[in-house]
Amino acid sequence: MQLVIRNLAGRQVHAALTILTLAIAVAATILLFGAAWGFADASTASLEGRGVDIVVTRSGVVERANSSLRADQAHILSKLPGVAAVDGTLQETVSLKTKGIADHPHLLLGQDPRGFTLQSLQIQAGQTLAAEDRGCVLIGVGLAESLAEKLNESIEIEGRKFRIAGIFLSENPVETNLLIAPLADLQELMDRLGQVTQFEVQVDKSHANADVIRALCQQIEALRDDADQSLGLQALPVREFVGSGTRNRLATAMAWGTTSIAMVLASLGILNTLLVSVQERTREIGVLRALGWPRTRVLRMILLESFALGLLAIVSGAVLAVFTAVIISRFPAIREITGPLITWQALLCGAVPAAVAILLGGFYPAWHAASIPATEALRYE
Phi, psi of 81 (to 5 degrees): -60, 135
- Residue 4 confidence class, pLDDT cut points 50, 70, 90: low
- Residue 193 confidence class, pLDDT cut points 50, 70, 90: very high
pLDDT at 182: 93
The β-bridge relationship of strands 198-203 and 179-182 is unpaired
CA distance 220 to 129: 29
CA distance 153 to 80: 42
Judged against a pLDDT cut of 60, whether residue 102 lies above it is answered with no
pLDDT at 186: 93
Judged against a pLDDT cut of 90, whether residue 9 lies above it is answered with no
pLDDT average, residue stretch 194-204: 92
Q: How many CB atoms neighbour CB 135 within 10 A?
A: 13
Q: Which residues pair with 198 in a beta bridge?
A: 89
pLDDT average, residue stretch 141-164: 83
Assess contact for 336 and 172: CB atoms under 8 A: no
Higher pLDDT among residues 369 and 176, named by residue: 176
Phi, psi of 69 (to 5 degrees): -125, 155
- Dihedral through CA 238, CA 241, CA 246, CA 247, nearest 10? 10
pLDDT at 136: 92
- Residue 333 confidence class, pLDDT cut points 50, 70, 90: low
The distance from CA 132 to its chain's CA centroid, rounded to whole angstroms, is: 38
For residue range 204-227, list pLDDT tens digits in order: 887 778 888 999 999 999 998 888
Q: How many CB atoms neighbour CB 203 within 10 A?
A: 21
- Residue 107 confidence class, pLDDT cut points 50, 70, 90: confident
CB-side neighbour CA atoms (13 Å) of 244: 14
pLDDT at 340: 56
Instruction: Confirm whether pTM is higher than 0.85.
Output: no
pLDDT at 235: 92
Q: How many CB atoms neighbour CB 371 within 10 A?
A: 10
Q: Kindly report the CA angle at 175 between 121 and 41, in degrees rounded to 5?
A: 95
What's the Cα-to-Cα distance from 342 to each of 28, 62, 295, rounded to whole Å? 11, 30, 42
Assess contact for 104 and 97: CB atoms under 8 A: no
For residue range 223-280, list pLDDT tens digits in order: 988 888 888 999 999 888 887 766 677 777 777 888 788 778 777 777 777 777 666 6
For residue range 337-367, list pLDDT tens digits in order: 555 567 778 888 888 888 888 777 777 777 7
pLDDT average, residue stretch 49-59: 88
Q: Kindly report the CA angle at 315 between 310 and 321, in degrees rounded to 5?
A: 120
For residue range 368-381, list pLDDT tens digits in order: 777 766 566 555 55
Kindly state the greatest CA–CA separation across the chain. Answer: 94
pLDDT at 280: 66
Q: How many CB atoms neighbour CB 256 within 10 A?
A: 16
Q: Which of 49-58, 303-312, 334-343 ranks highest by mean pLDDT?
A: 49-58
- Spatial CA neighbour of 314 closest among 275, 265, 263: 263
* Residue spans of alpha helices (H) in the chain: 2-9, 12-49, 74-78, 116-119, 141-147, 183-189, 210-221, 238-243, 246-280, 282-290, 295-328, 332-335, 344-371, 374-379
CA distance 37 to 252: 8
pLDDT at 379: 56
Helix axes 246-280, 12-49, angle to 10 degrees: 160
